[in-house]
Structures are given as C-alpha cells and as structure tokens.
Amino acid sequence: MNVDLLIVNGYVLTMEDESNQLIENGAVAIIGQTIEAVGKSDDLRANYHAERIIDANNQLIMPGLIDSHIHTGLAILRGVAQDMSHWMQKGIWPFMKHVTKEERIKGSLVNILEGIKAGTTTFADYDTDMQDIVQHYVKIGARACVAEMVNEMPDDIDDLSVGELYPLDAKVGEQKLQKNVDLIERYHGAEDGRITCMLGPQGADMLSLNRMKQIADLAETYDTKLHMHVAQGDREIEQMEKRYDLRTIPFLEREGFLNERLIAVHLTEATKKETEKAAHSGASMICCPGSIGIIDGIVPPMYSFLQAGGTASLGSDQAPGNNSNNMFNEMKFAAIVNKVKYQDPAVFPAELALRAATIEAAKVLGIDHEVGSLEKGKKADIIVINFQEPSLSPVITKPTSNVIPNLVYSARGHEVETSIIDGKVVMEHRQIVTASEEQVVKDAQEAANGLAKRVSKKV
Amino acid sequence: MNVDLLIVNGYVLTMEDESNQLIENGAVAIIGQTIEAVGKSDDLRANYHAERIIDANNQLIMPGLIDSHIHTGLAILRGVAQDMSHWMQKGIWPFMKHVTKEERIKGSLVNILEGIKAGTTTFADYDTDMQDIVQHYVKIGARACVAEMVNEMPDDIDDLSVGELYPLDAKVGEQKLQKNVDLIERYHGAEDGRITCMLGPQGADMLSLNRMKQIADLAETYDTKLHMHVAQGDREIEQMEKRYDLRTIPFLEREGFLNERLIAVHLTEATKKETEKAAHSGASMICCPGSIGIIDGIVPPMYSFLQAGGTASLGSDQAPGNNSNNMFNEMKFAAIVNKVKYQDPAVFPAELALRAATIEAAKVLGIDHEVGSLEKGKKADIIVINFQEPSLSPVITKPTSNVIPNLVYSARGHEVETSIIDGKVVMEHRQIVTASEEQVVKDAQEAANGLAKRVSKKV
C-alpha cells in the first residue's frame, strides 16, 4: 500500500493506553493528515511503500505535546514581571498598559515558534484579538484550540487591587463576546479541522451573571467548551464573595456552570472539597505549575483533582511570569512541586506528567478523537526526539525502562528534531519550515525596543 | 596590547558583586588562562589587539556555571530509579550492585559532556575511583574539584534499610581513604591548577569517629575542605542516634567538624535550628533541589541557611533520580520549590539562583579567587549564550531587565554556544572540541546494554 510518509527505526511511544507501552524498532505510516499504521518497523516497511521515509534511529517517535493553556499575546513581555508579590498590579501592568496590539501580535509569533521548537503541536491559545493571533497558526501550520478572552472590565480601569468590587461594563462585554462569536463563526473547523474554537470567559468575577449565562447558551449552540480561569487567586475569591456572597466553585455550581463543558483553569484557590466537587461534576482542569509556582508560590490542586477522578492537563500560561512556554518544563515542574507538596517521591510519576501533556490534554480540550496518541485514524501530530543527546543517554529498556523518566525529567525540548502537524513537516533538523525564525525574533525585538522606550519615558 | 582572545559585542554579566550589573555591548579580553579585561566592547577593541575575536552579538557572556555536587560515576544508571519510595534500596541498588568499574567510568564521561553542553565549566565530582574519573577532566579540559568518596561500609553489604546499625569495616575505610590521599597527592593543583582535590567522607554515619578525625587532620595537612553528605535522610539520622545518641549536626559540632572546612551537602533532615547552627559555624552548604525533590519529595533548607548568613550553592547530584545534570534545571528548581515551600513568589529570586551556580559556588568550593565571576586576574571560565532563541526573546533592559529572569527560568542549557575553560575553547557552535560526543555516547550505550542484560538475568 502507498503512504505519504513513513517514520522508521525509532522507539515509538503511542500513549494509546495507560500501559504507556514502548515499541522498540517501531514505525508510523501516514497518509495525508492521518496516521495509517503504527507498529514494528519491519512490518510497516514490508506493508507500505512510502513517498518519503524519515529514519528515526536512536530517536523517539511520540505524539506532539499539547499546551492546554497559553496566552501568546503576552510573550512580548517575557520576563519583565518576576519574583514579586502583586504580579498583576506591580509587575506586569506598568508594561501592559503601554503595549499596542501590533506588539502583542508580533510577540505571539515568537511564542508559537518557541512552543514548536520544544515539541508543542497543539496550542490552546486564550487571549485578546484572537482573530489576529489565529492567523499565525494558519500560516505556521500548528494545531490550535483558540478562544477570545471575554470580560466586562472597563477599558480605563487602572487598578486591579484586592478590595473594591470592580465595575462591570455591559458594552465591553457585548463587544468582546461578539469577537468570540465571530472567531467561532469564522475559524471553528478551519484549515480542514486544524483550528477549533471555544468560548473564553476570563473569569466569573469579571463578567455579569447574565453574560455568563449567555456564554453558556452559546456553548450549547456551538457545541463547544468554556475555557475559563476558575478560582485564580484571592482577588477573584474576594470579588465573588462581595458580588454573590459565594466562593467561585459554589457559585458556578449553583448557576449550572459546573459540568462537562467547563474547562477550569488554575483552581489555585480551590479548597480540597471544591476541587473534588469540580472533578465530580465532569468539568476538566488545566494546571499551570510553572506559572502558578513562580507567580503565586502555590501548587495547584491537580493531584487532588485527579484523585477525585477528574480529567486534567498541563499548560504553560504566559511568558511574563512563567516565563517560558515549554511543556517539558511544565511536566518537570508538575512532578517536582507535587512531590514536595506531599513529601512523597512516588506522587506524580513521570508517566502521569507525560499523559497530562498528551492524551489527557486532548481529552480536556475535546480533541482526543483526533490527537493525543498515535493510533490508526488519528491526525498525524508527531514529534521525533533525539535520544543521543548525552543528557538522554544511555537508553535502557530492560528490566526497567528509563525512556519516560528521561523524557520528563531530563529532556528540555531542544532534543525535538522533527515536528509533524496534521501530516505536514513543520520543523525538520530543528528548522521551522513555515517561517523565518530569525525574522520573527528580529521583528519582536524591534517591537520590544519601541515598547521599552515608551515605558521608560513614563516610569 | 596583545591578547589571545577577545569576545565582543555581547551582553556581559560579570557576577562581580551583588548588583548583578549587565554591561551592554560588552567584551572580555583573555591572555592565556586569564581574564585581562572586562568592559565596553568599544574600549576593549581600541585597547587590545587580539589573535582571535569571537563576535557575541545578541549573545550573553557570563561566568561558566559551577556544579557543586555531582556523582558522575552513576550516570550509566540514568533514569532507572524514579518516582518511588526507598530509592536507594529498591530503585538503584538492584542495578548498582551489578555495575562494573568500566561501565561507571564510561557513563561518567557522558555526564561530563552533558554538563559542558549545558554551560557547566566546573564540576565538583564526588565519587568512587576518582583517579580514573579525573582522567576525563584532564582530557576534556573542564575544571574539576574532585574527591574520592570514603566510607567504611563492608563490600558485601546488601541492604541499607533503616533499622539495624551498619557494621563498619576499618580495613575498607583505610583503603578508601588511602585512595583519597593518593588522589590529592597526585592531582591537587594538576593541569596548571585546573584540577583541585578535597577529602570526601561519604557521611558521618558511614565512618567511625576515628576515621572522621583522621580525615579532618588530613584536611589541615593538605589545607583543603571536606565534601560530605550531612543529614541526608532519616536513614542517616537513625544511624547517628543509634551510634552516638546524637543527630548528625550536634554530633559534628561536639566533635569539632562544624567549621569552615566543612561543605555540608543536602541537610535534607536538618531542623531549622541545626541549619542555622551549621550556617553560623562557617561551614557551607550545597543544595541539590532536583535530586532531593524528585528522590525524597523534600525541599532542602537552603533558604534558611542563607537567611542565617551562610554560604550555599547548587549541585545536580546523580543522574539516576534527578535525572539530568544541568545547572539551568537546578536554578529553576531551587527557585520554584522554595517559592512553593514558603508560598511566597518573592522568595528565592532568579538572581539568587544564578549566584548560587556561579560566584557563591566558587566560594563554597574555595576557588572564588580563581573563578565564579568575570574579573581581571581570574581564570577565563566563560560561557556565551545565544539570546536569539525564541524562548529568550525579546531582550528588554530598560526600565527593568529581563535578562537574568529569562536566563534562570527560560534558558535550558542548549543555548550555550561556546564554552571557554581556563582560557581554552572547549565547546564551539555546540560542538565539544576535545572529545567525540558521538563515540562517547555510543560507548556508554554499549556498556549500558551489557549491564541491562546482566541485570535482566538476575531479576
């Protein structure tokens, strides 16, 4: 049988089921966007004639990583708000209030290239002006589940400090929600299904109840999920208590938002009971261990959420604060911060972290019928990782395998040699083929120089 | 004036003092092994005529990283003992008892290349058969502070479980200490000072008091330090209480070991009071956040040690368990595990982590007169880091600088383009010039294959 692409001679990690089985001397056959077969190299070479063959000798073939929560529009501010309390107000705001849309869009593309170079093939991007940002995904060829961030915060608000109840502006909410609807209308299913869209309410504290209900109705209409920050910080909880006399999760439960459509991001301030309630409701969770660890000094309750039977995945959040967008980082961080939180080295093993960046992430985003594992019929989102780096050597597969532990605790992203998304080679020999990395970095640097000058004048 | 090497046009981070000042468009001039000048590129180009010029445009020039605690002899077992309780007994021992000396030595070289490729220029290697391992450093050209690990554990011991008091074998102790003395006699100050040696008692629980005293006397004789595990795990504390009716630190204090000569590694089980006592004594501390986080689920008390005025640095420990030996990892881990331990994002800022892998590490190892910062007269141990990686872009220096946060939280090691040790280029364009990386990895893989076969037969 003819196929377009055959990747052979590698270790294949399918992530198909919880055994996390490793096929030694394995191969993957691809026709168009789709995986045709996964198996032993000898078998696939015998059964398929390929247009093109990639030799993955001493390399690992695995599903592309999924970054479940990223705000690429903030990448232009990478690293300007670090190691401080009141990150939002004192760290990032003095810069953010001066950033132009053009600067944000330029930074966004750097962020996407950064992700691809570290093995990310799907980006759940959640930001402002998503109709502009989504063009990057169209052009670069990455998979994206995008949402326009919708809030009703007045444009001229200058202070988000804990204390007073924020004013909400219905007109702002209407406009932003319209942008989210336009995004869905135009891009949901675009690029032959590579782009999908969600609703993006920013948080229950930043929207009126009516607007929230309108968003929930739209999720039914479009049969999509709500990507939403939930219980993120004492600021949100205080707002919710002032506004509704309820903490976030009881509020969401009372109003009927706590269900399979909800993707609850962070849960930083959720109690154990609230976390369990969310997990039992069918809502899923996204945990950003690097961002929340560095910005808040908190380990989000992902482990409790999983113990309660919930589905959860990992995200890299934003560059200022985390401050890289690399799922290898997030896997490492998730494991180590949970081990030290519970003072138990057996908690959060490498396999769990890896699943949370692949197949479990696909489930959270509602795209597990398409990606997250290497199986016949799924979309060909595949990364090939060089295991001959000293830091990944030697490879031992018997009597125990060191492949997954080394992948999670030692790989850093630059070992990803090849990235295939939707059947197309997007990166090869670490060169992005769909953009000039040099130009993208240069454009962002020029934008940042202009921004820094403007901010310096105001400080 | 003529110099051998001029590195120009980069951002220079000298780490000279606590201001962590960044020289934009900076340069470094080198004569032989030594830094001749550090300053503005224009000034140095005007004042020096160089044999060779390295253009570091868009790159960062900084002191090479110092790994204060590494057991390279364990690298052959990378990743075989993960995510479990009783790491030593159940994880690594089933493999370790079958490893040959030749296999350990082959693994060691992979570990050293891994470190260099991630910016490490000085390795404080603490292991068995150091006279063999040290040959790698001689050949590769890296700086090393080595110690032979000395204990009195009987060779046929098969179980290190908590409970019974270990038997101690004076003959074993004598032999191992002799190896340490031979190492010092032969290599202390070797390679024109690039190799230095220390005493390496493995732990107060694994040596008789007499042997400990003998080692302390030798430290005076050779005017060197003691690199020693201190309060590492409940196993050690239980042994000490059974043997001396004292916990480790009070024991060390009573017997006169708690002083400037002691480098106390881990302090995992040290109480706050004991930690402060150690810091006040003038002893220094090495913290291995990745290893202890992953193996034990514990955040070592480095922050308390520093708060008490002590000098402390970071180490990567061993590959099985951590399981990479990359100081960028350790810097990130140190910051994040301390932030979540104290639930305070301002704790353990990026600058602190960076100092603990450069100048403070040099102080701990007693080589700060030679390395750890870029200053006229110091040895030229310098790394040049590509800041045009998307993950490090954009660079912002005003009104706040994102260079150190991005270096600590986002760089991963592969951005190190050039490594200069003792004035010699050891890595250039990411190619190690003093060894064949491919061959080193291949040799270690073959050794690991043999080992895995033998272990599989026994399991």
B287 and B218, same domain (yes or no): yes
- Let me know if A363 is exposed, middle or buried by CB neighbors in 10 A (0-12, 13-18, 19+): middle
The pLDDT, as a whole number, for residue A93 is: 84
As a whole number, the mean pLDDT across chain A is 96
Q: How many CB pairs under 8 A join A and B?
A: 247
Encode B81-116: b = buried (16+ Cβ within 10 Å), e = exposed: bbbeebbebebbbbbbebbeeebbbbbbbbbbbbbb
Comparing alpha-carbon positions, the chain B residue that sits nearest to A79 is B402
A285 and A424, same domain (yes or no): no
The pLDDT, as a whole number, for residue A39 is: 98
B223 and B132, same domain (yes or no): yes
Cross-chain residue pair B390–A110, CB shorter than 8 Å: yes
A318 and A413, same domain (yes or no): no
Residue A445 placed within a domain:
no
Domain, as residue range, for B258? 65-365
Residue-wise DSSP of A319-366: HHHH----HHHHHHHHHHHHHHHHT-TTSS-HHHHHHHTTHHHHHHHT
Residue B374 placed within a domain:
no
ipTM given for this complex: 0.97
Average pLDDT, integer, range A326-355: 97
The pLDDT, as a whole number, for residue A88 is: 80
Residues of B in contact with A406 (CB under 8 A): 78-79, 323-324
Give the number of other CB atoms < 10 A from CB of residue B281. Answer: 18
Comparing alpha-carbon positions, the chain A residue that sits nearest to B298 is A340
Distance CA B214, CA B211 (A): 5
Residues of A in contact with B93 (CB under 8 A): none
- Let me know if B407 is exposed, middle or buried by CB neighbors in 10 A (0-12, 13-18, 19+): buried
B280 and B405, same domain (yes or no): no
The pLDDT, as a whole number, for residue A85 is: 86
Cross-chain residue pair A349–B117, CB shorter than 8 Å: no
Give the number of other CB atoms < 10 A from CB of residue B264. Answer: 31
| Beta partners for residue A228, in sequence order | A264
Is residue B50 within 8 A of residue B5, CB to CB? The reply is yes
Q: How far is CA B232 from CA B237, B249, B265, B364, in A?
A: 8, 11, 8, 18
Is residue A266 within 8 A of residue A287, CB to CB? The reply is yes
CATH of residue A227's domain is: 3.20.20.140
Distance CA B298, CA A72 (A): 33
Percent pLDDT > 90 in chain A is 90
Nearest-by-Cβ selection for B83 from A337, A346, A453: A346
Residue A440 placed within a domain:
no
Structural domains counted in chain B: 2
A155 and A302, same domain (yes or no): yes
Contacts of B177 (CB under 8 A, 6+ apart): B150, B211, B214, B215, B218
Work out whether strand B226-230 and strand B262-266 pair parallel, antiparallel, or are unpaired.
Answer: parallel
Distance CA B455, CA B459 (A): 6
Residue B294 placed within a domain:
yes
Identity of residue B355: R
Q: Tally DSSP H helices, then E strands, for chain B.
A: 17, 17
B278 and B241, same domain (yes or no): yes
Residue B438 placed within a domain:
no
Instruction: Please give, one letter per residue, the 3-state secondary structure of A89-136.
Output: HHHHHHHHCCCCHHHHHHHHHHHHHHHHHCCEEEEEEEECCHHHHHHH
Residue (of A72, A64, A126) closest to A103 by Cα position: A72
Chain position carrying tokens 């750890």: B372
Average pLDDT, integer, range A300-305: 98
Please count the residues of chain B: 459
pLDDT at A157 over 80: no
- Let me know if A101 is exposed, middle or buried by CB neighbors in 10 A (0-12, 13-18, 19+): exposed
Residue A93 placed within a domain:
yes
CA within 13 Å, CB half, B148: 24
Average pLDDT, integer, range A278-291: 98
Cross-chain residue pair B391–A326, CB shorter than 8 Å: yes
Residue A444 placed within a domain:
no
Both tokens of A160, joined, read: 């988000």
Work out whether strand B2-13 and strand B59-63 pair parallel, antiparallel, or are unpaired.
Answer: parallel
A152 and A126, same domain (yes or no): yes
pLDDT at A245 over 90: yes
A288 and A395, same domain (yes or no): no
pLDDT at A83 over 70: yes
Residues of B in contact with A395 (CB under 8 A): 445, 448
Is residue A440 within 8 A of residue A139, CB to CB? The reply is no
Encode B192-208: b = buried (16+ Cβ within 10 Å), e = exposed: eebbbbbbbbbbbbbbe
Angle at A265 between CA A261 and CA B84, to 5 degrees: 110
Is residue A249 within 8 A of residue A286, CB to CB? The reply is no
pLDDT at A393 over 80: yes
Both tokens of B298, joined, read: 């514990």
Nearest-by-Cβ selection for B396 from A340, A441, A452: A452
Comparing alpha-carbon positions, the chain A residue that sits nearest to B444 is A394
The pLDDT, as a whole number, for residue B90 is: 82
Q: Which residues of chain B have pLDDT under 70?
A: 157-162, 459
- Secondary structure (3-state) at B143: strand
B313 and B200, same domain (yes or no): yes
The pLDDT, as a whole number, for residue A458 is: 79
Peptide bond before residue B301 is cis, with ω within 30 degrees of 0: no
Residues of A in contact with B455 (CB under 8 A): 399
Is residue B430 within 8 A of residue A386, CB to CB? The reply is no
Contacts of B315 (CB under 8 A, 6+ apart): B67, B68, B69, B70, B124, B265, B286, B287, B288, B291, B330
Cross-chain residue pair A79–B410, CB shorter than 8 Å: yes
Identity of residue B2: N
Task: Quote the longest CA-to-CA distance of chain B.
Answer: 70
Average pLDDT, integer, range A371-389: 98
Is residue B13 within 8 A of residue B60, CB to CB? The reply is yes
Contacts of B366 (CB under 8 A, 6+ apart): B145, B196, B224, B225
Residue B439 placed within a domain:
no
Q: How far is CA A263 from CA A227, A229, A244, A289, in A?
A: 5, 8, 22, 16
pLDDT at A335 over 80: yes
Cross-chain residue pair B83–A394, CB shorter than 8 Å: no
Distance CA B23, CA B31 (A): 21
The pLDDT, as a whole number, for residue A459 is: 67
pLDDT tens digits for range A63-73: 999 999 999 99
Q: How far is CA A30 from CA A37, A55, A61, A292, B129, in A?
A: 7, 14, 13, 38, 50
Average pLDDT, integer, range A168-197: 98
Please count the residues of chain A: 459
CATH of residue A59's domain is: 2.30.40.10
B102 and B184, same domain (yes or no): yes
The pLDDT, as a whole number, for residue A415 is: 98
The pLDDT, as a whole number, for residue A94 is: 84
Distance CA A102, CA A106 (A): 6
Residue A154 C-alpha, separation from nearest chain B C-alpha, in angstroms? 27
pLDDT at A156 over 80: no
pLDDT tens digits for range A200-243: 999 999 999 999 999 999 999 999 999 999 999 888 999 999 99
Residues of A in contact with B87 (CB under 8 A): 345
CA within 13 Å, CB half, B202: 19
Rounded to the nearest angstrom, the gap between the alpha carbon of residue B66 and the centroid of all alpha carbons in its chain is: 6
Both tokens of A366, joined, read: 């509602």
A399 and A252, same domain (yes or no): no
Residues of A in contact with B85 (CB under 8 A): 344-346
